[in-house]
Amino acid sequence: MNRKFSVITLIVMLVPVLLVTGCKSGAKGTSTLIENVGIIEEPGGIESFNQIYYLYPSPAEMLSIIDMGEMDYDEELLHSIDQADNYINTRAKTMMLGVYMTDLAYAALFGRHEATLDYLEVVRSLAEEIQIDEAVDDTMLEKARSNVEYLDSLYSISNDAFMNILAYCDRNERSNTVVMLSAGAFTESLFLAVNLIDNYEEAYHSLQHLADQKFTIDNFMTFAEKVNTDDPNVTTTLNDLKRIKALYDNINLSSGAISITKLNEAEDDQPKKLVIGGGSSESQPTLTLKEFEELKAAVIELRTKIVEG
């Protein structure tokens, strides 16, 4: 098994748990970058910062940029499940799986029971078409139907679906699939975020979280570029993200201390964590109005390209 890819799976399995409560509460507060990283200890223990490999976005992580306390559910932003049969090739289906998984998490987050079940069905169908259907099975669907009235359960199920797919890809060394799926999820999450910000002047927290994705896309691209670049699907996916990556590269990062803390409280069978955080609000990237408008335009353009197959 690819060692670095195994680390990635552990990371994604941690992030949703850490972010769910914050997303659902809609609580306000200082917007500080905190990335929780699963690590595998080599003989001799953790020797250096190099033990932290890469992070890439999960739907739960990306949805954390939405300030739920001030934003309403907007069904029109989601991609219609009626279009799911329109995607023919493997890359289109895989990227759309990421899109639909993000829409699933968004619907679950707002407690839209029927929509959550509908998107879960689409996720299962696309997973089957790209031959990773073991990750989303009848048991998960039945669990969702049985707990449709419970917001926490719905959101947990949406995360379980994503984590199961990542675990399956890990076991079967399908890192190329993860790149395409995650790129679709990343783009759809940005699409939801930029379109839910109506007033730049009144969206400080959402804009700050949106700017923080500078770190997320850096980590994702670092991981993705290590994947087999002989695969034209991976190459095309990376090329599609280059405009958004360039926009984030131009976002200023103010000076400030970065703290790194090792947490040892994890259970024996769970990965330990490192918490990486900006020392203060001054250490965080910021988005000017012009940068936000440019990012929004680029995201909408890429999302349109993806959903058009």
pLDDT of residue 224: 86
Whether residue 24 has pLDDT greater than 90: no
pLDDT tens profile 256-290: 344 444 444 444 444 444 344 444 445 567 789 99
Whether residue 196 has pLDDT greater than 60: yes
Length of the chain: 309
**What is the average pLDDT score of the chain?**
73
* Rg of the chain in Å (alpha carbons): 18
Q: What is the DSSP annotation of the chain? A: --HHHHHHHHHHHHHHHHHHHHHHHT-------EEEEEE-PPTT---SGGG-------HHHHHTTS-TTT----GGGSPPGGGGGG--SHHHHHHHHHHHHHHHHHHHHTT-HHHHHHHHHHHHHHHHHTT-GGGS-HHHHHHHHHTTT-HHHHHHHHHHHHHHHHHHHHHTT-HHHHHHHHHHHHHHHHHHHHHH---GGG-HHHHHHHHHHHHHHHHHHHHHTTS-TT-HHHHHHHHHHHHHHHHHHTS-B----EEEEEE--S-TTS-EEEEEEESSGGGSB---HHHHHHHHHHHHHHHHHHHT-
- The dihedral built from the CA positions of residue 301, 61, 2 and 54, taken in this order, carries a sign that is positive
pLDDT: which is higher, 191 or 255? 191
pLDDT tens profile 158-192: 778 888 888 888 888 898 998 999 999 999 999 99
pLDDT: which is higher, 274 or 196? 196
Cα 78 to Cα 134, 178, 268: the distances in Å are 26, 22, 40
Nearest CA to 154 among 167, 166, 141? 141
pLDDT of residue 131: 92
CA pair distance 79, 99, nearest whole angstrom: 8
Neighbours of 82 (CB within 10 A): 9
Q: Percentage of the chain surpassing pLDDT 70?
A: 65
Tokens, residue 67: 């300030």
pLDDT: which is higher, 64 or 180? 180
Cα 74 to Cα 108, 198, 210: the distances in Å are 13, 12, 19
CA pair distance 269, 263, nearest whole angstrom: 14
pLDDT tens profile 202-233: 888 888 888 988 888 988 888 888 886 688 99
Cα 238 to Cα 173, 185, 225, 228, 229: the distances in Å are 19, 14, 8, 12, 10
